[in-house]
Amino acid sequence: MLWFVNICIISSRKLIDEYPEIISDIQTEIKKLENDTRVLNKLYVILDVLHDEPIKDIINKHGISQGTAHNWIKQWNNGGMESLKRKEGSKGQSKLTEEQFMILDKAIQENNLNTAKEVKHEIETLFDVKYSIRQIERIMKKLGYTYTKPYQIYAKMPKDAEKQLKKHTTSRF
pLDDT tens per residue across span 13-58: 667 777 777 888 887 877 777 656 778 888 889 999 999 899 999 9
| Residue at 40 is within a domain | yes
What is the b/e burial string over 23-52, where b = at least 16 CB atoms within 10 angstroms of the residue's CB? eeebeebeeebeeeeebbbbbbbbbbbeee
pTM given for the model:
0.39
Q: Which domain holds residue 25?
A: 18-84
Is the pLDDT assigned to residue 79 strictly greater than 50?
yes
Residues 23 and 66 grouped into a single domain: yes
In this prediction, what percent of the chain has a pLDDT beyond 70?
78
Between 81 and 118, residue with greater pLDDT:
118
Are residues 77 and 113 located together in one domain of the fold? no
> How large is the average pLDDT for residues 112-116?
87
User: What's residue 149's pLDDT?
Assistant: 62
Q: How confident is the model at residue 122 (pLDDT cuts 50, 70, 90)?
A: very high
Q: Are residues 113 and 61 in the same domain?
A: no
Does 168 fall in a domain?
Answer: no
Q: Mean pLDDT, to the nearest integer, of 97-114?
A: 90
Whether pLDDT at 166 is above 70: yes
Q: Is pLDDT of 5 > 90?
A: no
Asked if 118 and 60 sit in the same domain, the reply is: no
Q: Both 22 and 80 in a single domain?
A: yes
- pLDDT at 59 exceeding the cut of 80: yes
Distance of CA 71 to the CA centre of its chain: 21
Inside any domain, residue 166: no
